[in-house]
Structure 1
Amino acid sequence: MTINCKGNLIDFTSPKVMGVLNLTPDSFYDGGKYKNENEILHQTERMLSDGATFIDLGAYSSRPGADHVTTEEEKRRITPIVSLLTKQFPEALLSIDTFRSEIALACIDRGAAMINDISAGNLDDQMFETIAKTKVPYIMMHMRGTPQTMKSLEQYDDLLHDMNLYFSEKIALAKQYGINDIIIDPGFGFAKNIAQNFNLLKQLALLNFSETPILAGLSRKSMIYKTLGITASEALNGTTALNTIALLNGASILRVHDVKEAMQCIKLVEMYNR
């Protein structure tokens, strides 16, 4: 499986790492951690040198119950940083974590290479058209509702059946628009409780029906720290354990806060598979 990303052919024969760079004050783990340009540049350089293929920038916290942020505020937070990073790291592949087509387009115009949409177009009916026009890869995630309402939408008759139907319909629609470089994200923690998250991880390989790369975003999430009775800041070891399972079950991208440890995880799993 491959995608064309800013003229680079990314081959997922070997899994890749996406480093998370939150530009929000209220993200569940590192909200408000990177407060100025020097801290942002330092963290980006560190993640790239540790082996990240992608850097995922987000300016709208999608944790359960997060405050709503206006389009203007999201744009104010993220567009200067995209310009800063594309100038400082012109070869970096920047992914933009947004569900708004206006933000997506503004960031692509400033050099971003990929869009990561938690709603797969459900929260902005112009998103698919924007992705088709700009010809960037598109990550579509499974979620119900919004970050403000998703905790009340965890009831499923058959979660995997619903997700396969969801992605089948979304991929078919994307291809109607001429979007070919697609990545799917099962959305761990989004409208799913802890038991559902673990069941989904166990059956992750069943999402391979679509022949699209799978992104696993497990890093320091509540399914880890609530299960272990610890905090998100203590959840690196648990993250590595679940990332290992995700790789063994077919994940092509690990979206993480800790790039070095994720790269080590990939190296060990590849050796195991050989």
Structure 2
Amino acid sequence: MFQLKSGKRTLIVDNATVMGILNVTPDSFSDGGEFAAFDMACKHADHMVAQGAKIIDIGGESTRPGAADVVLDEELNRVLPLIDYVSKNLDVLISIDTSKPEVMEQAIKTGAHLINDVRALQAPGAIEMAALLDVPVCLMHMQGQPRTMQNAPTYKDVVEDIIAFFRLRIAACIEGGIDAKHLILDPGFGFGKTLTDNYELLNRLSEFKVLELPLLIGLSRKSMMGNLLNRQPQQRLAGSLAGAMLAAQGGANILRVHDVPETVDILKVMDATERYQQLSI
């Protein structure tokens, strides 16, 4: 269990909780830009909260392999109106999925509560901005950059290499003035990893507990499911749910997903089973 604190908001995370994905981009790998229109994005946010999402992760720049960069003004225009809507109409924590310090600043000022950065605050000025904003930050591991990350990624030991990366980033964040209690880690499934790397990470997820920080895991509809099962993104529900359950069993605290109600259901079943086991001891 840990407490996700941002300003006056506190979310107690007991076991695993669900973060719903809301990509307001025209080139999202999973939904083909279905929620790029503002009204559709608002309705989807409403639905995900009603279905049990405790956090909504809003992103305005695709990070799929080969994705093009998005200029600052375009990213702000995509995410700020939606953050404003969600913050004023829904009782949910809001995550801003960005690597740009300027977007971080404007998103938090508009009503977001935490930063989810696939580049682990490595952009110039990102650590300084996160320290100034004093909100939770998720640091994700990615080998390379979105355009090139799947061009033959290699590791000596995928888990040990990522743990070493996190140790460096944690130290840099603390030195830069970020409270360690604000840090969350994401090993970055699909971001500069082979199919074998991804499943080894999932199998060895509990080893990240050595870092003593919460884990955010995003497996939903990713190519590690599609390539293994030969399924298109919209056909990867079963694989995504299996991955979510394995991740929760391995110690994931937050599950970043597209399919909120189904993921909430499997977590309820897991929780009920664990409570029964505790009562029977």
| Partners of 1:14 and 1:252 within 8 A in 2 | yes
Provide the residue aligned with 1:63 in structure 2. Answer: 64
User: Letter of the aligned partner of 1:182 in structure 2?
Assistant: L
Local SS of the residue matching 2:74: helix
- 1:41 correspondence with 2:46: no
The 2-side partners of 1:178 and 1:245 are apart by 31
Local SS of the residue matching 2:112: coil
The 2-side partners of 1:171 and 1:4 are apart by 18
1:195-274 correspondence to structure 2 within 5 Å? 195-274=196-275
Identify the range of structure 1 (261-270 vs 52-61) with the bigger mean alpha-carbon deviation.
261-270
The 2-side partners of 1:210 and 1:8 are apart by 25
User: Letter of the aligned partner of 2:144 in structure 1?
Assistant: G
Local SS of the residue matching 1:152: coil
The 1-side partners of 2:149 and 2:54 are apart by 30
TM-score for the superposition, normalised by structure 1: 0.95
Identify the range of structure 1 (24-33 vs 3-12) with the bigger mean alpha-carbon deviation.
3-12
User: Letter of the aligned partner of 1:67 in structure 2?
Assistant: A
| Partners of 1:65 and 1:147 within 8 A in 2 | yes
1:104-253 correspondence to structure 2 within 5 Å? 104-122=104-122, 124-152=123-151, 154-176=153-175, 177-179=177-179, 180-253=181-254
Local SS of the residue matching 1:213: coil
Local SS of the residue matching 1:205: helix
The 2-side partners of 1:143 and 1:153 are apart by 13
Provide the residue aligned with 1:54 in structure 2. Answer: 55
The 2-side partners of 1:130 and 1:200 are apart by 30
Q: CA deviation at 1:153?
A: 5.3
The 2-side partners of 1:14 and 1:144 are apart by 29
The 2-side partners of 1:42 and 1:74 are apart by 20
User: Letter of the aligned partner of 2:150 in structure 1?
Assistant: K
The 2-side partners of 1:250 and 1:32 are apart by 32
Same amino acid, percent of matched pairs: 36
| Partners of 1:6 and 1:93 within 8 A in 2 | no
User: Letter of the aligned partner of 1:158 in structure 2?
Assistant: D
Q: CA deviation at 1:72?
A: 2.0
- Unmatched 5+ residue regions in structure 2? 276-281
| Partners of 1:22 and 1:31 within 8 A in 2 | no
| Partners of 1:20 and 1:57 within 8 A in 2 | yes
User: Letter of the aligned partner of 2:133 in structure 1?
Assistant: T
- 1:103 correspondence with 2:125: no
Q: CA deviation at 1:175?
A: 2.0
The 2-side partners of 1:272 and 1:125 are apart by 46
User: Letter of the aligned partner of 1:69 in structure 2?
Assistant: V
- Unmatched 5+ residue regions in structure 1? none
